[in-house]
A = this chain, B = another copy of it.
Amino acid sequence: MPERPSEFQLIAELFAPLAEAPGAFRLKDDAAVIAPPAGQELVITTDALVEGVHFLAEDPPLFVAKKALRVNLSDLAAKGAEAAGYLLALSLPSGVGMEWLTAFADGLRQDQREFNISLYGGDTTSTPGPLTIALTAFGFVPKGTMIRRAGAKPGDLVFVSGTIGDADAGLALLRQPQDTSHAVRDFLVHRYREPRPRLSLGHTLRGLATAALDVSDGLLADLGHIAETSGVRIEVDAHRLPLSAALQAVWGSDTQARIKAATAGDDYEIAFTVAPSCVEEVMRAARDSAAITEIGRVVSGGEAVLMDLEGSEIAVPKSGYTHF
């Protein structure tokens, strides 16, 4: 079992260099200072990842770090926020040594560069249980412009970014290797391990989307959240769901595959609703940020449902995935 570094060593060598923002004081204080730019306010979110629940013990630490960060950045993206920084509470079992932690910190560093963010604070503690990473991320929006879940209206159209189902298929391949090409496997595993927070799409949607969220529990389950808070019904056309070529190579593209994709977790794409009058502007604005696909419509009523080509509801056994 590798020897765990001291808390002092851990902070001084690995984490203090990540606390680049002036208000983070290189982690040499009890708290950090955050000053939103003039006219802006904070958007803040927290998500915890537990080994064996949210990631696998054998997942490379570089990707564990990125995933912990990105699932939070994905929330900020869906809300239209400019990502700014994060705080990190790490609970470490005794078996985690300097090698693992160095690679973990490397993952954070890479993503800090990529998303232009800084570590602002943290806490490290020991645990007799599994490695647990609680991360709180924050960003900024002009006052009053955070995109809410509530706000979808009958008549709005429903969109999703990227493709869905990939991460779930990638996880399945990690759990039980299948006879697929390397390219297919690599693409899907990558989608599971390294979700891509759609930050620039999110900024684009500010003032245009009537509601948005990131797809983490499963597309239908998450659209169900918009339906509930907005007091509307959302109809998703199964045949319009964007499925990657890699996913189709593994799952096919029939109705069963589409049900699976619409209820698979960990997509970290943005699902959003737009008034018809804004659709053209959204399409134009999204051109430079991420592929988006129109997948359905908002009508009056409740819940989110999957529809077939004939316009009938498809029975879905379970709308999403929960880590609880």
Contacts and interface: CB of A to CB of B under 8 A. Distances in A.
Given A120-B44, A125-B50, A149 B29 contact: yes
Contact of A54 (B75, B92, B125, B149): B125
Contacts of A323: 125-126
Contacts of A87: 44-46, 136
Given A30-B75, A213-B30, A48 B324 contact: no
Nearest to A47: B123
A39 to B, nearest CB: 10
Interface string A15-28: 00000000001001
A127 B129 contact: yes
Interface residues of A, number: 63
Interface stretch (A76-84, A250-258, A288-296): A76-84
A184 interface: no
A53 B148 contact: no
A129 B126 contact: no
24 contacts: A6-B324, A7-B322, A7-B324, A28-B225, A29-B79, A29-B213, A30-B214, A31-B43, A32-B44, A34-B41, A36-B36, A44-B121, A45-B121, A46-B89, A48-B89, A48-B91, A48-B125, A53-B128, A54-B125, A91-B132, A91-B134, A127-B129, A128-B130, A136-B136
Given A7-B324, A54-B125, A92-B324, 19 more contacts: A28-B149, A29-B149, A30-B213, A31-B79, A33-B44, A34-B42, A34-B43, A35-B143, A36-B36, A44-B120, A45-B87, A46-B122, A48-B134, A53-B127, A126-B324, A129-B129, A132-B134, A134-B134, A136-B136
